[in-house]
Amino acid sequence: MENKISKRMQITAVILLFCLITCTACTGKNIPDYHDNYENYTADSTDKLSVSERARALLPKKLIKIGFVQVGHESDWRIAATKSCQEAFSEENGYELLFVDADNDPRVQVDAVRKFIREQVDYLIIDPVLTTGWTAVLKEAYHAKIPVILLDRTIDCSKRYYYAWFGSDFVQEGELAGQWLQSYLNRQGRGADNINIVTINGTDGASAQLGRTEGFARYLKRHSEWNLLAEECGDFTESGGRMVMEQYLETYEKIDVVICQNDNEALGACAAMDAAGVSYGKDGDVILISFDATRAGLEAVMEGKINADFECNPLSPPYAAEAVRQLEAGIKRKEKDYYLPEECFTSDEHPMILITGDGRKQMLNVTREILKERMY
Ligand code: GYE
């Protein structure tokens, strides 16, 4: 009799526990992170567990559903970011990743977010093409109680509609480029010369484009002898960079500096200058500045083709995964916005020290070791 009662109690306990866990899973947020514990249960170890632990171990593994909206596949940087996202949000790590490549189309991004909301993903992760056009759809996500994590580019929207952002300080990148150019020209004894500058911008209206332009403009303002001849959009692509550079070479007789807002554009600009017989880089006539510091970019720095390359770190997805884990465990993040660590590279024989808001930054020459360790 006693045996029967205790059996009945055990069954009731299992059912109660099952209901409790299912209900918690339905409410979505702030559930305890039981996925990790679940991984530890093996067939042998279940014998030593209590009834409730065994019930937990037998529950189907629930993957965390991530709706990820990517900008596109325009550059090496972007490909690296996508790869990092697929690794960070793999099934082995406990995620079901629903991934949309928007091919640089802002409308595709907004539609994808709406679809993910309807599908009730657990988290939305967005790398926005443009800064604009986000408020309405992010409000919808907010009311659907789906946390939003932003990566890389920023948006014009109240901070309450996203949980965290991980990316780069684009304004500082642009400023560092201006600061480097100023010191480089001084070193060359060209500090008072008229300098003709062209820029090949990234996608118009992307925060990476806006920030780098704004940062560099702060130095342009200080130098009345710097003439910005033109700033056309190369869309962060190699073909865009090449096309724009070809036009510049046809239009302007004397170009002293080319600023490309990413490495792919810079490689395109190199191809255009090669074809036109124009020399550039460390020993050439045209000074070439770039952003990203991808492997291909750094190789070009090492070969002396790019004079200075300002890093932009594409490996933000692991930070987003950490934020998701923290939310699952009910831990609140202290800061909303987080800047990734970044370096500055140069082909100068004596790399400069640049001044940033937080102190001094020693520029680096590219070595074989740096290239070997480069993840992208
Ligand atoms: O510089 C470029 C990419 O948003 C920082 O987008 C990113 C930029 C990066 O396509 O290569």
The radius of gyration of the chain from alpha carbons, rounded to an integer in Å, stands at 26
In this structure, are residues 85 and 317 in contact, taking their beta carbons and an 8 Å threshold?
yes
Percentages of the chain per state (helix, strand, coil), in multiples of 5: 45, 20, 35
The Cα 300–Cα 293 span in angstroms is 10
Output the CA 237–ligand 1 centroid distance in Å: 9
pLDDT of residue 223: 98
- pTM (2 decimals)? 0.85
Output the CA 80–ligand 1 centroid distance in Å: 10
Contacts of 270 (CB under 8 A, 6+ apart): 280, 288, 300, 305
Output the CA 62–ligand 1 centroid distance in Å: 34
Output the CA 213–ligand 1 centroid distance in Å: 13
pLDDT of residue 10: 61
**Could you tell me the CA-to-CA distances from 91 to 35, 61, 96, 172, 255 in Å, in that order?**
12, 11, 6, 36, 51
Write the DSSP assignment of 35-83 as a string of letters.
Answer: HHHHHT--HHHHTTS-HHHHHHHHSPPPPEEEEEEE--S-SHHHHHHHH
Give the residue ranges of DSSP H helices in 188-277.
207-222, 238-251, 263-276
What's CA 284's distance to the chain center, in Å?
32
Query: Which among 84, 76, 72 is positioned nearest to 296, based on CA atoms?
Result: 76
Contacts of 13 (CB under 8 A, 6+ apart): 51, 52, 55
pLDDT of residue 54: 74
Ligand 1 pocket: which residues have CB below 6 Å?
74-75, 77-78, 152-153, 208, 236, 262, 291-292, 312
> How would you write the pLDDT of the chain (376 residues) with one tens digit per residue?
445 545 555 655 555 444 444 434 434 343 333 233 333 334 444 567 777 677 666 666 799 999 999 999 999 999 999 999 999 999 999 999 999 999 999 999 999 999 999 999 999 999 999 999 999 999 999 999 999 999 999 999 999 999 999 999 999 999 999 999 999 999 999 999 999 999 999 999 999 999 999 999 999 999 999 999 999 999 999 999 999 999 999 999 999 999 999 999 999 999 999 999 999 999 999 999 999 999 999 999 999 999 999 999 999 999 999 999 999 999 988 899 999 999 999 999 999 999 998 899 999 999 999 999 998 9
Output the CA 57–ligand 1 centroid distance in Å: 43
Q: Which atom of ligand 1 is nearest to the CA of 170?
A: 5
Query: Which among 357, 337, 343 is positioned nearest to 167, based on CA atoms?
Result: 337
Query: Which among 135, 138, 99 is positioned nearest to 117, based on CA atoms?
Result: 138
Mutate to test the pocket of ligand 1, among 200, 312, 339 (most ligand atoms within 8 A of CB): 312
Q: Which atom of ligand 1 is nearest to the CA of 263?
A: 11
The C-alpha angle with vertex 160 and arms to 157 and 165, in degrees rounded to 5, equals 75
pLDDT tens digit sequence for 290-311: 999 999 999 999 999 999 999 9
**Could you tell me the CA-to-CA distances from 151 to 44, 112, 134, 247, 281 in Å, in that order?**
42, 16, 14, 33, 32
